[in-house]
């Protein structure tokens, strides 16, 4: 049985040790220079990123050019912007890969604070289309507050989980901070509103807690509470009501919808049409018909429906395999990290990508309500691409650090 | 377990969960959507991606046998609506209301229903078909208004469509039939041959984007409509017109209550040359009753309701409320209208069953001859009635016909005689022949609505006859058949014993005029031998010259035929007496039959109801015009040679003397009008046929041409008197009917008394023989 002094001492010792080690190693080994650009980074992971980005931008162009043609008059409108952001993003990624990720350790709490500020800021800023408060800044220079939140929470949970790794089995250290961060963030997101992000943040928090080593019991209790809540909603009929209110979720193919419901399920229905039209081998690259103004904003969240239509099940599964490889490689990198913070940070960011992919496709296939989850590397959007490549840079930084240390 | 180990293990678990559960679920879902549901989803996708506009196929033409158009489709328009283009919200509601009210006004449609249509979320609603030019212009105006007022285009469009026209309106109406609102055949040939006539509608498929504007590239697939095939009938418009002309007149003359039927059929091929149910209806307006019927329907009142049992027993018709009275009258009117339409459309020639009566005797005698149960020594006595068990069966000649040969039985149309012939045939054989002659089955004519016969059923067994059944059946009572069955059987009697398949369609032509299908003569079976048929032809020819059928005689042609007067056992006009059907069935030429005709009047109420008096003269009138038209060679008896018609030569341009000599040389007498020396005109014209010995009037100057002769009364005289009277007025007479018989009198003239005509005009006078009561 450890005394409070013991634990406290050990905690400080561990923290100091980690900080020292990282700063020493980082300063010594990592030099920002083009000569060193490939040094230590995980080449398979980089290759996967490039492959996904290439396929993603190609498909984004294919999906977006009719919309760009009709609505803007320039078929290359989205392509040009996405290419610019991809180039900037790749530069950011490489730059970030040189940054010793241990720096984030210190700023974890501050970044979390910034994310809260951003979440509150969007509520007072003018609303966007559909009456939601999600964006800070305008147009190309905007960023979704929730993007900051997701990174901040992963970072904070990695920070907390590595700092108090030996107390994660307690309720106070293992459950309470994660629950508090999640609930407070979720509370703010309710006002945006941005439900899908609440789901993502919830899952990411649980994943981080789980990997950090909290007792399975707490997870089980949490799952039980969630189950009871859902059951209650179901018994009282509120679930059905909620499902109906959620833009006709699951109703997209019902031909007897009234006009309002028909219109609100328009995007999902046309997504299903696109996916179904693809069949096994697809209509061929560029041959989508649904992108001709049937599927609204095919370049955004629903881009994978066009991918399915053009490349078929075979193409879709191949792309998913590449994503799976990326996740697998991300996990490998994370597990090779020399310290706990690096491991947790890498796992959190890798999970984030996997989660986005799965949830995005569940949305476009009408298994989840249509609530705005973009597909990494594919969906159009400057800030989200920048954020994504920034996160990839962080993972690469983890790989670079551990590889260089190894050598 | 160390913290690092746990992290590693939990991470591996996490990886498994993400990849197996997450990616697994996603791939399963995609596979389900793309492989299992793919086809359906793709179908629905294509449905919205392609603008699919139907193109109406032009319905085929119906021709008569000579290529005259009986039914044809002409171009009109179809109005369609794409309600999905309406805006949402209040603006959309305003647009919908505007369109609904305007369309209702232009197209005479129900505004509420149209408003419902505008709320659909589709791109194709057919608003109205067969819109004519005037309405089309108004629709174009509406389109312009829509684009000016709401900046909306594409909501209302006009597509090609076709409308059916029937140039001869009511001619052969129940045979040709008509089409319904979707251009589908509903009756007659239009119904029976709908699959050929309808064609295949085409479609224009064009790619459209989500907002139904142009695609950046062209994608148009045009599946052209395949126009319908055309149908050539065996019906000859000229023959049909002749038939209907005489039938209409006879129906008026004889106050026929339940319409009349005439079928003209080629006895060897089964081709129906004419088939009339008179009065018919206007094919261009088949869903409205005619004026007389409209008057009757409008006149429906309480008395009508009482008469037709519209009231409950305990109701006092005069004390019911006005509302109830109005409701009942509306009901009665609507029922009367439906009944009137059904009656108009009904093709009596194939749908009505009737007792054939004495016409059937030709069949009974054929059976007896074929079976050899009668011969030249057979004698049949008639005392005016025949006693069978408790029943007494009367002959129309109550004095009796005395002792007769079987030929005389037919000439006299003697019922007791035929009862005895029937008894010789026997019940079993009678039933066998009844079936063999085709009375127990539908003829299978290619028209809708053919009825089955109604034959005796005893102890539940069809054809099980009692002695009395046989007795009555032998002269055509007690069982009902259709006119088409009767003429088919009569054709077999005449044509050498072959039951041929009657049909009204000769040929089907594709839309380029190539023959797709030719109807061929279909002989079902041989029912009597050629020799029996030959004997029957002789007996029936003689029947038309000296026997009960002589009113059916057609001068210049060898005609065989039989009259019939059958009891309807129904009182159609509530006068307390059962009514009759007067019919005549005959064929010509008797030595080599080509055409048979059946004339049938249902309930003549003009006093005379015998087939010999009502139907036979009409047969003669029709055949006297139809046979020459059909180029049947005339064969005059010596006696008729004096009355033979000769074509007038051309005498115009000759000097008066030369012309006179030429005309007299041709066998005409000559009257010269005017003071000139050259013939400038003649009447009758060159090629017109007039009786030999008739008068040719030659005009020598213009003033003489204005001279007129007044037509005298030519009805009620013998042949020689008629000729004398006509000659004294400077007119020519063409004779039809039974003129040769000593007791013949003229019964009709083609130009009414008192009409001013040019001298020399040919007036057709119909003769018939009195004193025959069958």
Minimum mean pLDDT range among B44-48, B471-475, B489-493, B529-533 = B44-48
When CB atoms are compared, the residue of B25, B27, B88 closest to A317 is: B27
Task: Answer yes or no: are the C-beta atoms of A342 and A334 closer than 8 Å.
Answer: yes
Q: Which residues of B touch A307 (CB under 8 A)?
A: none
**Two tokens, residue B451:** 């009825």
Residue A362 touches partner B, C-beta closer than 8 Å: yes
Q: Which of B1, B41, B87, B218 best probes binding to A when mutated, by most A CB atoms within 10 angstroms? A: B41
Minimum mean pLDDT range among A177-186, B434-443, B763-772 = B763-772
Q: What is the pLDDT of residue B547?
A: 84
Cα torsion angle, B92, B97, B102, B108, sign: positive
**Two tokens, residue B395:** 């002959």
Q: What is the pLDDT of residue A28?
A: 43
Q: What is the pLDDT of residue A24?
A: 47
Q: What is the pLDDT of residue B709?
A: 80
Give the Cα separation of B229 and B505 in Å (integer): 13
In a domain, A56, yes or no: yes
| Residues B762, B766, B767: CA angle, nearest 5 degrees | 135
Minimum mean pLDDT range among B489-493, B687-691, B755-759 = B687-691
Give the Cα separation of B586 and B544 in Å (integer): 9
In the 8-state DSSP scheme, what is residue B690? E
Distance in Å, alpha carbon of A329 to nearest chain B alpha carbon: 11
Residue B247 banded pLDDT, cuts 50, 70, 90: very high
Residue A16 banded pLDDT, cuts 50, 70, 90: very low
Q: What is the pLDDT of residue B89?
A: 79
| Residues A166, A172, A176: CA angle, nearest 5 degrees | 115
**Predicted confidence (pLDDT) at residue B459 exceeds the cutoff of 90:** no
Name the pTM for this structure. Answer: 0.61
Q: Which residues of A touch B19 (CB under 8 A)?
A: 324, 327-328, 354
Task: Answer yes or no: are the C-beta atoms of B128 and B79 closer than 8 Å.
Answer: yes
Distance in Å, alpha carbon of B27 to nearest chain A alpha carbon: 7
Task: Answer yes or no: are the C-beta atoms of B613 and B768 closer than 8 Å.
Answer: yes
When CB atoms are compared, the residue of B8, B15, B26 closest to A361 is: B26
Q: What is the pLDDT of residue B423?
A: 93
Q: What is the pLDDT of residue A406?
A: 55
pLDDT over 90, % of chain B: 38
Give the Cα separation of B582 and B413 in Å (integer): 14
Q: What is the pLDDT of residue B290?
A: 87
Would you tell me how many other CB atoms lie within 10 Å of the CB of residue A87? 10
Give the Cα separation of B204 and B47 in Å (integer): 13
Distance in Å, alpha carbon of A185 to nearest chain B alpha carbon: 24
Q: What is the pLDDT of residue A26?
A: 45
Per the CB < 8 Å rule, is B14 touching A211?
Answer: yes
Q: B185-207, pLDDT tens digit by residue?
A: 999 999 999 999 998 888 777 66
- Find the length of chain B: 774
Average pLDDT over residues B668-695: 78
In a domain, A354, yes or no: yes
Q: Which of A303, A247, A246 is nearest to A275 (CA)?
A: A303
Residue A170 touches partner B, C-beta closer than 8 Å: no
- Whether domain B351-629 has CATH 3.90.870.40: no
Average pLDDT over residues B700-712: 79
Q: A195-206, pLDDT tens digit by residue?
A: 888 889 999 999
Per the CB < 8 Å rule, is A289 touching B15?
Answer: no
Per the CB < 8 Å rule, is B30 touching A289?
Answer: no
B368's enclosing H/E stretch is helix B361-371
Mean pLDDT over each residue of chain A, to the nearest integer: 83
When CB atoms are compared, the residue of B4, B10, B44 closest to A210 is: B10
Per the CB < 8 Å rule, is A259 touching B42?
Answer: no
**Predicted confidence (pLDDT) at residue B735 exceeds the cutoff of 80:** no
Which CB contacts under 8 angstroms, 24+ apart, belong to A165-170? A165/A14, A165/A212, A165/A213, A165/A340, A165/B3, A166/A7, A166/A10, A166/A11, A166/A14, A166/B3, A167/A7, A167/A11, A168/A209, A168/A212, A168/A213, A168/A214, A168/B3, A169/A213, A169/A214, A169/A215
Average pLDDT over residues B238-244: 94
**Predicted confidence (pLDDT) at residue B655 exceeds the cutoff of 50:** yes
Q: Which of A129, A75, A57, A80 is nearest to A303 (CA)?
A: A57
Distance in Å, alpha carbon of B37 to nearest chain A alpha carbon: 6
Nearest CA in chain B to A282: B34
Average pLDDT over residues B627-645: 73
- Domain boundaries, position A240: 39-406
When CB atoms are compared, the residue of B4, B8, B215 closest to A292 is: B215
Three-state SS for chain A is CCCHHHHHHHHHHHHHHHHHHHHHHHHHHCCCCHHHCCCCCCHHHHHHHHHHHHHHHHHHHHHHHHHHHHHHCCCCHHHHHHHHHHHHHHHHHHHHHHCCCHHHHHHHHHHHHHHHHHHHHHHHCCCCCCCCCCEECCHHHCEEHHHHHHHHHHHHHHHHHHHCHHHCCCHHHHHHHHHHHHHHHHHHHHHCCCHHHHHHHHHHHHHHHHHHCCCHHHHHHHHHHHHHHHHHHHHCCHHHHHHHHCCCCCCCCCCCCCHHHHHHCHHHHHHHHHHHHHCCCCCCCCCCCCCCCCCCCCCCCCHHHHHHHHHHHHHHHHHHHHHHHHHHHHHHHHHHCCCHHHHHHHHHHHHHHHHHHHHHHHHHCCCCCCCCCCCCCCCCCHHHHHHHHHHHHHHHHHHHHHHHHHC
Distance in Å, alpha carbon of A182 to nearest chain B alpha carbon: 20
Residues 195-224 of A with CB under 8 A from B: 207, 210-213
Q: A107-165, pLDDT tens digit by residue?
A: 899 999 999 999 999 888 877 776 777 888 766 677 888 889 999 999 999 999 988 88
Mean pLDDT over each residue of chain B, to the nearest integer: 86
In a domain, A19, yes or no: no
Residues 28-57 of A with CB under 8 A from B: none
Q: B16-72, pLDDT tens digit by residue?
A: 988 889 999 999 999 999 898 888 888 888 777 776 677 888 899 999 999 999 999
Per the CB < 8 Å rule, is A355 touching B10?
Answer: no
In a domain, A17, yes or no: no
**Predicted confidence (pLDDT) at residue B79 exceeds the cutoff of 70:** yes
Residue A21 banded pLDDT, cuts 50, 70, 90: low
**How big is the A-B interface in CB pairs under 8 Å?**
152
When CB atoms are compared, the residue of A259, A272, A327 closest to B33 is: A272
Residue A268 banded pLDDT, cuts 50, 70, 90: confident
Residue A357 touches partner B, C-beta closer than 8 Å: yes
- Dihedral, CA atoms, A67, A70, A73, A77, nearest 10 degrees? 0
Give the Cα separation of B590 and B493 in Å (integer): 11
In a domain, A32, yes or no: no
**Predicted confidence (pLDDT) at residue B178 exceeds the cutoff of 90:** yes
Per the CB < 8 Å rule, is B209 touching A334?
Answer: no
In a domain, A327, yes or no: yes
Residues 323-342 of A with CB under 8 A from B: 323-324, 327-328, 331, 334-335, 340
Nearest CA in chain B to A318: B27
Q: A338-395, pLDDT tens digit by residue?
A: 888 999 999 999 999 999 999 999 988 888 887 778 899 999 988 889 999 999 999 9
Distance in Å, alpha carbon of B102 to nearest chain A alpha carbon: 24
Distance in Å, alpha carbon of B119 to nearest chain A alpha carbon: 9
Would you tell me how many other CB atoms lie within 10 Å of the CB of residue A242? 13
Q: What is the pLDDT of residue A131?
A: 72
Minimum mean pLDDT range among A160-164, A238-242, B118-122, B680-684 = A238-242
Distance in Å, alpha carbon of B118 to nearest chain A alpha carbon: 12
Residue A327 banded pLDDT, cuts 50, 70, 90: very high
When CB atoms are compared, the residue of A320, A323, A331 closest to B15 is: A331
Minimum mean pLDDT range among A347-356, B210-219, B338-347 = B210-219
In the 8-state DSSP scheme, what is residue B569? S
**Predicted confidence (pLDDT) at residue B213 exceeds the cutoff of 70:** no
Residue B553 banded pLDDT, cuts 50, 70, 90: confident
Task: Answer yes or no: are the C-beta atoms of B384 and B399 closer than 8 Å.
Answer: yes
Nearest CA in chain B to A295: B210
Distance in Å, alpha carbon of A254 to nearest chain B alpha carbon: 12
Give residues with Cβ within 8 angstroms of B32, minimum separation 6: none
When CB atoms are compared, the residue of A211, A259, A316 closest to B7 is: A211
In a domain, A29, yes or no: no
Q: Which of B49, B210, B219 best probes binding to A when mutated, by most A CB atoms within 10 angstroms? A: B210
Domain count, chain A: 1
Q: What is the pLDDT of residue B639?
A: 60
Half-sphere exposure of A62 (CA within 13 A, CB side): 25
Task: Answer yes or no: are the C-beta atoms of A200 and A173 closer than 8 Å.
Answer: no
Q: What is the pLDDT of residue B274?
A: 96
Residues 286-325 of A with CB under 8 A from B: 289-290, 292-296, 308, 312-313, 316-317, 320, 323-324
Per the CB < 8 Å rule, is A210 touching B30?
Answer: no
Nearest CA in chain A to B208: A292
Q: Which residues of B touch A275 (CB under 8 A)?
A: 30, 33-34, 41
Distance in Å, alpha carbon of A343 to nearest chain B alpha carbon: 9
Q: What is the pLDDT of residue A244?
A: 62
The CATH homologous superfamily for domain B51-232 is Penicillin-binding protein 2a (Domain 2) (3.90.1310.10)
Nearest CA in chain A to B120: A259
Per the CB < 8 Å rule, is B34 touching A275?
Answer: yes
In a domain, A7, yes or no: no
Numbered residues of chain B with Cβ closer than 8 Å to any chain A Cβ: 3-4, 6-8, 10-11, 14-15, 18-19, 22-23, 25-27, 29-31, 33-35, 37-42, 44-46, 48-49, 88, 119, 121, 207, 209-211, 215-216
**Predicted confidence (pLDDT) at residue B238 exceeds the cutoff of 90:** yes
Q: Which segment, A95-109, B39-53, B485-499, B599-613, is predicted with the most confidence on average?
A: B485-499
Minimum mean pLDDT range among A257-261, A358-362, B477-481, B575-579 = A257-261
**Predicted confidence (pLDDT) at residue B545 exceeds the cutoff of 90:** no
- In angstroms, the first-to-last Cα distance of chain A is 39
Residue A396 banded pLDDT, cuts 50, 70, 90: very high
In the beta sheet, which residues pair with residue B72?
Answer: B165
The domain spans of chain B are 3-36, 51-232, 351-629, 638-769
Higher pLDDT, A250 or B734: B734
Distance in Å, alpha carbon of A138 to nearest chain B alpha carbon: 28
Distance in Å, alpha carbon of B10 to nearest chain A alpha carbon: 6
């Amino acid at each position: 049985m450890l005394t409070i002094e013991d634990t406290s001492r050990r905690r400080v010792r561990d923290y100091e040790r980690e900080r020292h080690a990282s700063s020493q190693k980082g300063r010594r080994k990592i030099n920002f220079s083009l000569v060193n650009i490939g040094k230590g980074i995980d080449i398979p992971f980089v290759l996967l990123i490039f492959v996904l980005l290439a396929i993603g931008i190609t498909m984004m162009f294919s999906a977006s050019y009719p919309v760009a043609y009709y609505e803007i008059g320039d078929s290359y409108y989205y392509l040009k912007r996405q290419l610019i952001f991809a180039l900037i993003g790749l530069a950011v990624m490489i730059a970030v890969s040189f940054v010793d990720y241990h720096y984030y350790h210190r700023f974890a709490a501050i970044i979390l604070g910034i994310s809260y500020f951003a979440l509150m800021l969007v509520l007072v800023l003018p609303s966007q289309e559909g009456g939601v408060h999600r964006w800070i800044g305008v147009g190309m220079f905007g960023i979704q507050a929730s993007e900051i939140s997701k990174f901040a929470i992963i970072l904070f949970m990695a920070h907390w989980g590595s700092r108090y790794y030996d107390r994660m089995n307690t309720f106070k250290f293992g459950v309470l901070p994660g629950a508090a961060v999640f609930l407070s963030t979720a509370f703010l997101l309710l006002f945006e509103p941005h439900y899908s992000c609440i789901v993502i943040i919830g899952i990411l928090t649980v994943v981080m807690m789980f990997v950090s080593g909290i007792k399975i019991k707490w997870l089980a209790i949490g799952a039980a509470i969630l189950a009871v809540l859902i059951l209650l909603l179901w018994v009282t009929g509120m679930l059905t009501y909620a499902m109906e209110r959620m833009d006709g979720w699951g109703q997209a193919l019902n031909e007897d919808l009234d006009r309002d419901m028909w219109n609100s399920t328009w995007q999902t229905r046309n997504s299903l049409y696109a996916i179904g039209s693809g069949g096994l081998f697809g209509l061929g690259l560029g041959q989508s018909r649904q992108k001709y103004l049937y599927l609204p904003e095919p370049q955004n969240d629903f881009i994978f429906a066009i991918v399915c239509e053009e490349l078929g099940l075979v193409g879709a599964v191949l792309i998913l395999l590449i994503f799976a490889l990326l996740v697998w490689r991300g996990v490998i990198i994370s597990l090779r990290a020399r310290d706990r913070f690096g491991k947790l940070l890498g796992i959190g960011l890798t999970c984030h990508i996997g989660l986005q992919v799965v949830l995005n496709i569940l949305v476009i296939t009408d298994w989840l309500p249509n609530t705005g989850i973009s597909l990494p590397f594919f969906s159009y959007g400057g800030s989200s691409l920048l954020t994504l490549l920034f996160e990839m840079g962080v993972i690469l930084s983890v790989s670079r650090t551990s590889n260089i240390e190894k050598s | 377990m160390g913290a690092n180990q746990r992290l590693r293990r939990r991470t591996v678990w996490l990886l498994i969960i993400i990849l197996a559960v997450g990616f697994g679920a996603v791939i399963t879902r995609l596979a389900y959507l793309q492989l299992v549901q793919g086809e359906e989803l793709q179908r629905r996708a294509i449905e919205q991606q392609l603008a699919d506009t139907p193109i109406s196929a032009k319905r085929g033409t119906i021709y008569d046998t000579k290529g005259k158009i009986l039914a044809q489709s002409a171009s009109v328009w179809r109005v369609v609506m794409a309600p999905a283009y309406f805006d949402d919200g209040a603006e959309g509601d305003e647009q919908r209301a505007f369109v609904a009210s305007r369309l209702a006004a232009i197209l005479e449609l129900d505004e509420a229903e149209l408003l419902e249509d505008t709320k659909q979320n589709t791109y194709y609603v057919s608003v109205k078909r067969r819109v004519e030019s005037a309405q089309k212009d108004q629709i174009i105006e509406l389109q312009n208004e829509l684009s000016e007022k709401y900046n909306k285009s594409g909501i209302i469009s006009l597509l090609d469509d076709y409308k059916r026209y029937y140039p001869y309106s009511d001619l052969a109406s129940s045979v040709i039939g008509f089409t319904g609102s979707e251009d589908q055949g509903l009756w007659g040939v239009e119904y029976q041959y709908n699959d050929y006539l309808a064609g295949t509608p085409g479609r224009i498929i064009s790619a459209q984007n989500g907002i139904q504007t142009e695609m950046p590239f062209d994608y148009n697939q045009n599946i052209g409509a395949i126009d319908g095939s055309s149908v050539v009938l065996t019906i000859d418009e000229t023959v049909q017109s002749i038939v209907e002309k005489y039938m209409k007149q006879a129906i008026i003359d004889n106050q026929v209550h339940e319409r009349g039927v005439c079928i003209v059929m080629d006895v060897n091929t089964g081709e129906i040359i004419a088939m009339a149910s008179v009065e018919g209806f206007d094919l261009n307006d088949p869903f409205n009753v005619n004026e007389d019927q409209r008057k009757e329907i409008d006149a429906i009142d309480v008395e009508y309701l009482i008469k037709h049992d519209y009231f409950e027993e305990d109701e006092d018709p005069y004390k019911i409320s006005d509302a109830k009275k109005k409701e009942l009258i509306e009901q009665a009117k609507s029922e009367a209208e439906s009944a009137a339409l059904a009656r108009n459309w009904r093709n009596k020639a194939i749908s009505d069953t009737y007792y054939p009566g004495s016409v059937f005797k030709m069949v009974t005698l054929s059976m007896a001859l074929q079976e050899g149960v009668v011969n030249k020594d057979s004698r049949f006595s008639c005392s005016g009635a025949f006693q069978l068990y408790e029943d007494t069966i009367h002959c129309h000649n109550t004095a009796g016909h005395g002792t007769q040969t079987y030929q005389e039985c037919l000439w006299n149309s003697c019922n007791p005689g035929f009862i005895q012939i029937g008894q010789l045939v026997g019940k079993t054989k009678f039933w066998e022949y009844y079936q063999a002659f085709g009375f127990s089955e539908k003829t299978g004519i290619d028209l809708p609505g053919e009825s089955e016969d109604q034959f005796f059923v005893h102890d539940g067994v069809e054809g099980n006859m009692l002695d009395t059944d046989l007795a009555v059946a032998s002269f055509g009572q007690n069982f009902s058949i259709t006119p088409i069955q009767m003429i088919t059987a009569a054709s077999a009697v005449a044509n050498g014993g072959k039951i041929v398949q009657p049909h009204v369609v000769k040929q089907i032509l594709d839309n380029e005029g190539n023959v797709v299908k030719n109807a061929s003569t279909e002989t079902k079976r041989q029912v009597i031998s050629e020799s029996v048929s030959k004997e029957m032809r002789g007996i029936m020819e003689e029947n038309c010259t000296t026997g009960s059928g002589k009113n059916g005689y057609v001068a210049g042609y060898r005609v065989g035929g039989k009259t019939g007067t059958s009891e309807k056992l129904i009182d159609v006009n509530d006068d307390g007496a059962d009514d009759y059907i007067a019919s005549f069935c005959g064929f010509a030429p008797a030595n080599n039959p080509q055409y048979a005709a059946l004339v049938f009047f249902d309930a003549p109420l003009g006093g005379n109801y015998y087939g010999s008096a009502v139907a036979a003269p009409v047969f003669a009138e029709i055949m006297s015009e139809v046979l020459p038209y059909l180029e049947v060679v005339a064969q005059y008896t010596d006696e008729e040679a004096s009355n033979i018609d000769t074509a007038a030569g051309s005498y115009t341009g000759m000097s008066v003397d030369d012309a006179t000599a030429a005309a007299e040389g041709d066998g005409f007498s000559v009257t010269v009008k005017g003071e000139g020396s050259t013939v400038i005109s003649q009447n009758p014209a060159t090629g017109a046929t007039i009786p030999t010995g008739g008068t040719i009037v030659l005009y020598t100057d213009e003033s003489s041409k204005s001279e007129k002769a007044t037509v005298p009364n030519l009805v009620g005289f013998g042949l020689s008197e008629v000729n004398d009277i006509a000659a004294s007025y400077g007119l020519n007479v063409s004779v039809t009917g039974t003129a040769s018989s000593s007791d013949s009198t003229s019964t009709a003239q083609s130009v009414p008394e008192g009409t001013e005509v040019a001298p020399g005009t040919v007036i057709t006078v119909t003769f018939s023989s009195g004193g025959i009561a069958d």
